[in-house]
């Protein structure tokens, strides 16, 4: 525990700031563009409203519309009335409408929203619909979402699943049916589009599906939920997501498209793949809005050129649960952010180490807080050999402090000469000055792995522990009613505990540092807690609780190892023995000393010229 530990904390803070910055940068960069887009949309809607109002007042227009409807055999599809049908199991409740033959209300039964109401991934009356265009006559077409299907009946199947079919009134020789199947216990809704004579209903036998919907707020902190909302897709057997920008065009086959929030998602799956398409998202800038973002997707799939064909689709409405998503479609577990982009290196750590160990503890303990404590003990146990070597290196460095002070008095203010003499001393004593760096650097991938794991783990959502009401977000003991820039509008007690214990560790590390002459290093233990407080105050309380426990373990280990395990007298004897052994310089050491000698010579010449 020397200055290298402090350097590790600095790197940790810098990387976390980079992560938070890159996570929110896109919304800030695109704010102006989104505002222009929204203004343009508003103008178009206003213009269209004026045109529609004019048409409503014109009897000639009404006559033309009636003529169009009456000129083909889809008349009942244009003039129907809306009827609703409910299909549900123990997990999800879905309300279907015969207008468009699709879901209009999706409720997850086992989850509550921030206001204690059921989580609804599709809400009645919101601007959300699935649609595609069909040919209704010569040079005439209509959107399926605007047409009325014949009312369907729910049929219960022997396996416990339920089937609902909607049939569109159509001319002789043509048919269109939406078949929905909800399993007895699951979130995946099967949607089969059955078509008779598709060459008549679809131009070039291509189904051009449009998906217009919006993501609504389900968490109390909307800014964090926006940060974790994303558009993910499985293109050409590889997962990707929209990290920046508002538009994405698909040039390769797409198996599924997911609209994901922090803990829930809705995903459209094509068993035969979408051959092309694109998606556009507009995020809501205001934190007072209940809408996270609005999404428009266009996806094309080829219909077999047969007399009777089926387009097999699926709709997933459910939680971001790793085990559940793993059974739905290939790659869907990537919807959960366990490490993406520049932090993708931590995903294997989460998937193959953190997650299985945490689930093992949780399967035997009801409290998530205690499970996190045991996970912390496990991580510290695994890393304990490196931690011991770090403390041993720190003890050796501390033993050399008197000699370093003597060298400082000898060379005076010549920092370059001091560096050379100090390296010589370390080499003679057999001490590696970087020996304490490894544990500090090891904390960085572990911290970011846990940051992703705790922030996206739906199991933590709504779980109480001590004073925290929800381990998936920050705890609050004081709410200001206003926001302090860089800090927030609240005080997190777990964050304070993590900061205080980190401060104690820094103080101890400074006591082990052999070189106390650097003023910046003297103030580092007081500077770092301020940085950590700004960062930790907004983190999930599960993470700050883990960090607090980890710090307490570190303090305990420091005391035990330094006072009962490490023999300081033996260290001094060992250092003296190392001095008598023959030393061989590595090529790196030789080059470094040559560079230092050259720099010293150049400085000497410069001083002579000035003199």
| Domain stops at, among 331, 356, 383 | 331
Q: Is residue 263 part of a domain?
A: yes
- Assign 99 a pLDDT band (cuts: 50, 70, 90): very high
Determine the Cα angle at 559 with ends 554 and 563, to 5°.
Answer: 145
Closest residue by Cα to residue 111 from 231, 212, 222, 262: 262
> Domain limits at 475?
3-20+346-590
State yes or no: pLDDT of 301 exceeds 90.
yes
> DSSP assignment of 471-534, as one string?
TTS---SEEEEEEETTTEEEE-HHHHHHHHHHHHHHHHHHHT-S----HHHHHHHHHHHHHHHH
Please provide the average confidence, as pLDDT, over all residues in the chain: 79
Residues 259 and 351 in one domain: no
Rounded to an integer, what distance in angstroms lies between the CA atom of residue 574 and that of residue 567? 11
Residues 319 and 382 in one domain: no
Residues 156 and 240 in one domain: yes
- Assign 242 a pLDDT band (cuts: 50, 70, 90): confident
Q: Is residue 260 part of a domain?
A: yes
The mean-pLDDT minimum among 245-254, 442-451, 547-556 falls in: 442-451
Residues 13 and 70 in one domain: no
Q: Is residue 35 part of a domain?
A: no
Residues 164 and 197 in one domain: yes
546: left (phi over 0), alpha (psi -120 to 50) or beta: alpha
- Assign 428 a pLDDT band (cuts: 50, 70, 90): low
Residues 67 and 209 in one domain: yes
Please state whether beta strands 254-260 and 162-167 pair in parallel, antiparallel, or not at all (unpaired): unpaired
Instruction: Report how many domains make up the chain.
Output: 2
Q: Which residue has the higher pLDDT, 207 or 382?
A: 207
CATH code, domain carrying 170: 2.70.98.90
What pLDDT does residue 361 have? 94
State yes or no: pLDDT of 532 exceeds 70.
yes
State yes or no: pLDDT of 388 exceeds 90.
no
Rounded to an integer, what distance in angstroms lies between the CA atom of residue 586 and that of residue 600? 21
Residues 249 and 394 in one domain: no
Residues 323 and 398 in one domain: no
Q: Which residue has the higher pLDDT, 197 or 599?
A: 197
What pLDDT does residue 221 have? 78
Q: Is residue 449 part of a domain?
A: yes
**Most confident among 108-122, 181-195, 272-286 (mean pLDDT):** 181-195
- What average pLDDT does the segment 76-98 reach? 92
pLDDT in tens, 2-51: 555 556 656 666 666 565 556 555 545 545 455 555 554 554 455 455 44
Rounded to an integer, what distance in angstroms lies between the CA atom of residue 520 and that of residue 583? 34
Rounded to an integer, what distance in angstroms lies between the CA atom of residue 549 and that of residue 551? 5
State yes or no: pLDDT of 555 exceeds 60.
yes
Residues 417 and 319 in one domain: no
Rounded to an integer, what distance in angstroms lies between the CA atom of residue 372 and that of residue 376? 6
Rounded to an integer, what distance in angstroms lies between the CA atom of residue 478 and that of residue 475? 9
Helix axes 368-382, 384-399, angle to 10 degrees: 60
- What average pLDDT does the segment 143-165 reach? 92
What is the DSSP secondary structure assignment for residue 350, as one 8-state letter? I
pLDDT in tens, 54-65: 444 444 333 333
Residues 281 and 351 in one domain: no
| Domain stops at, among 305, 331, 357 | 331
- What average pLDDT does the segment 217-223 reach? 81
The mean-pLDDT minimum among 72-86, 122-136, 362-376, 521-535 falls in: 521-535
Rounded to an integer, what distance in angstroms lies between the CA atom of residue 18 and that of residue 11? 10
C-beta separation of 157 from 138 below 8 A: no
What pLDDT does residue 276 have? 92
Residues 116 and 184 in one domain: yes
C-beta separation of 130 from 149 below 8 A: no
Percent of the chain at pLDDT > 90 equals 36
- What average pLDDT does the segment 422-426 reach? 63
State yes or no: pLDDT of 589 exceeds 70.
no
State yes or no: pLDDT of 132 exceeds 60.
yes
Measured from the Cβ of residue 131, the count of other Cβ atoms closer than 10 Å reads: 18
| SS3 per residue for 378-425 | HHHHHCHHHHHHHHHHHHHHHHCHHHHHHHHHHHCCCHHHHHHHHHHH
pLDDT in tens, 163-196: 999 999 988 888 999 999 999 999 999 999 999 9
> DSSP assignment of 417-453, as one string?
HHHHHHHHHHHHHT--TTTTHHHHHHHHHHHHHHHHH
Q: Is residue 31 part of a domain?
A: no
What pLDDT does residue 58 have? 40
Q: Is residue 88 part of a domain?
A: yes
Q: Which residue has the higher pLDDT, 121 or 432?
A: 121
Residues 354 and 319 in one domain: no
Q: Is residue 27 part of a domain?
A: no
Percent of the chain at pLDDT > 70 equals 67
Q: Is residue 43 part of a domain?
A: no
The residue behind tokens 């959960």 is 336
Rounded to an integer, what distance in angstroms lies between the CA atom of residue 84 and that of residue 97? 5
- Assign 67 a pLDDT band (cuts: 50, 70, 90): very low
What pLDDT does residue 63 have? 33
């Amino acid at each position: 525990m020397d200055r290298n530990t402090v350097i590790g904390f600095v790197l940790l803070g810098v990387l976390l700031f980079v992560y938070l910055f890159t996570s929110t940068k896109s919304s800030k960069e695109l704010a102006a563009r989104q505002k222009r887009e929204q203004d343009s949309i508003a103008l178009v809607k206003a213009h269209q409203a004026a045109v529609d109002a004019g048409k409503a007042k014109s009897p000639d227009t009404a006559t033309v519309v009636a003529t169009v409807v009456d000129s083909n055999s889809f008349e009942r599809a244009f003039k129907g009335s809306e009827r609703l049908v409910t299909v549900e199991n123990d997990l999800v409740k879905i309300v279907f409408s015969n207008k468009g033959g699709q879901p209009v209300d999706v409720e997850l039964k086992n989850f509550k929203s921030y206001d204690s109401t059921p989580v609804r991934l599709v809400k009645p009356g919101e601007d959300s619909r699935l649609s595609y265009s069909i040919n209704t006559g010569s040079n005439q077409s209509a959107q399926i979402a605007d047409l009325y299907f014949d009312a369907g009946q729910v049929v219960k199947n022997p396996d416990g699943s339920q089937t609902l079919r909607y049939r569109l009134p159509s001319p002789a020789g043509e048919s269109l049916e939406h078949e929905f199947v909800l399993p007895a216990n699951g979130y995946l809704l099967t949607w089969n589009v059955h078509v008779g004579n598709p060459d008549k209903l679809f131009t070039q036998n291509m189904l051009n599906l449009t998906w217009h919907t919006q993501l609504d707020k389900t968490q109390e902190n909307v800014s964090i939920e926006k940060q974790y909302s994303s558009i993910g897709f499985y293109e050409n057997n590889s997962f990707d997501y929209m990290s920046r920008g508002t538009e994405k065009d698909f040039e390769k086959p797409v198996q599924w498209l997911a609209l994901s929030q922090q803990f829930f998602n809705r995903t459209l799956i094509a068993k035969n793949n979408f051959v092309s398409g694109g998606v556009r998202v507009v995020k809501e800038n205001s934190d007072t809005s209940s809408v996270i973002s609005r999404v428009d997707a266009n996806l094309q799939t080829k219909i077999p050129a047969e007399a009777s064909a089926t387009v097999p689709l699926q709709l997933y409405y459910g939680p971001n649960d790793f085990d559940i998503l793993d059974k739905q479609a290939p790659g869907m577990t990537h919807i959960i952010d366990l490490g993406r982009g520049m932090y993708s290196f931590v995903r294997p750590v989460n998937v193959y180490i953190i997650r299985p160990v945490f689930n093992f503890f949780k399967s035997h303990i009801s409290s998530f807080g205690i499970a996190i404590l045991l996970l912390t003990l496990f991580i510290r146990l695994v890393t304990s050999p490196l931690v011991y070597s770090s403390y041993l290196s720190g003890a050796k460095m501390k033993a050399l402090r008197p000699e370093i002070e003597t060298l400082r008095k000898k060379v005076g203010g010549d920092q370059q000469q001091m560096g050379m003499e100090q390296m010589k001393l370390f080499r003679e004593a057999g001490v590696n000055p970087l020996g304490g760096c490894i544990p500090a650097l090891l904390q960085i991938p572990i911290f970011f792995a846990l940051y992703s794991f705790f922030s996206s783990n739906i199991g933590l959502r709504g779980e109480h522990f001590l004073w925290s009401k929800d381990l998936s977000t920050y705890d609050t003991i004081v709410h200001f009613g206003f926001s302090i820039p860089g800090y927030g509008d609240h005080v997190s007690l777990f964050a304070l505990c993590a900061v205080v214990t980190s401060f104690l560790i820094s103080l101890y590390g400074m006591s082990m540092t052999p070189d106390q002459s650097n003023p910046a290093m003297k103030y580092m233990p007081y500077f770092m807690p301020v940085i950590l407080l700004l960062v930790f105050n907004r983190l999930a309380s599960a993470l700050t609780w883990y960090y607090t426990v980890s710090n307490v373990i570190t303090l305990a280990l420091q005391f035990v190892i330094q006072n009962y395990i490490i023999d300081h007298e033996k260290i001094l004897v060992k250092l003296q023995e190392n001095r008598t052994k023959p030393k061989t310089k590595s090529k790196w050491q030789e080059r470094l000393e040559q560079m230092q000698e050259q720099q010293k010579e150049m400085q000497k010449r410069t001083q002579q010229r000035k003199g």
